[in-house]
Structure 1
Amino acid sequence: MTRKSPLDDPETAAFAWARFRRLMRFMMLLTIGVVAIAMALLWKQGNVVSVHFYIAAALGLGVSMLLTAALMGLVFLSSGTGHDNAIEDRPSDRED
């Protein structure tokens, strides 16, 4: 039988998701700053490239940073609330 997860409690879940949203807001601001710096450095190099290069670089950098932040944030949320401890992983009796 699986133990009850701490995220089943509405107060604990609300606190955990508020912390996750706060982390994501911070990472969004950091990502915007990093993308702006990267675009400025690319522009300063003075190479003649298409505007599509800048769009692709900004989107690639921004999406990869935010995806990484979201996945790590979910790991922190799961571990920090004790949700990971509520999962039982019994070894199987089979021998392969």
Structure 2
Amino acid sequence: MASDRAKAWTEFRRMIVWIALAGVVMVAGSLWYLSLYDALYPSAILATIGGVFLSTLLGCGLFAAAFFSDKSGHDQNVTNATTHEAED
């Protein structure tokens, strides 16, 4: 069980790094797209960086947390605890 959690934690960290890299690529792509149609002002740049990067991290990070929970055995622990209570 401990090795499953260590392996899940390693995979989770690797997923977070890939998600952060995807966020950087998406920010660069969205800034490039916005620059095609209008001048980029500092406020627009900051809003784009904050909005795109944080949205990507939040959405993908929640999915990564769900996968981590399943792979590390936390979900099974909860299932076992609630099943045992229901039988009593």
Q: Smaller-chain TM-score range?
A: 0.7 to 0.9
Aligned 1:1-96 pairs, distance under 5 A: 6=1, 9=2, 11-46=3-38, 48=39, 50-87=41-78, 88-89=81-82, 90=85
Instruction: Specify the structure having the higher radius of gyration (Cα).
Output: 1
Gap regions ≥5 residues in structure 2: none
- Which SS does the other structure have where 1:56 is aligned? helix
Structure 1 CA distance for aligned equivalents of residues 43 and 74 of structure 2: 43
CA RMSD of aligned residues (A): 1.6
TM-score (norm 2): 0.80
Structure 2 CA distance for aligned equivalents of residues 61 and 53 of structure 1: 12
How many matched pairs?
82
Q: Which one has a larger percent helix, Structure 1 or Structure 2?
A: 2
TM-score (norm 1): 0.74
Q: Is the 8 A contact 2:5 2:73 kept in 1?
A: no
Runs of 4+ in 1 over 6 A off after TM superposition: none
Structure 1 vs Structure 2: percent identity of aligned residues? 26
Gap regions ≥5 residues in structure 1: 1-5, 92-96
Q: Is the 8 A contact 2:5 2:71 kept in 1?
A: no
Amino acid corresponding to residue 35 of structure 2 in structure 1: W
In the TM superposition, what whole-angstrom CA distance separates every residue of 1:5-56 from its partner, at most 9, and x where no partner exists?
x4xx2x222211110011111111111111101000001102x453101111
Partner of 1:3: none
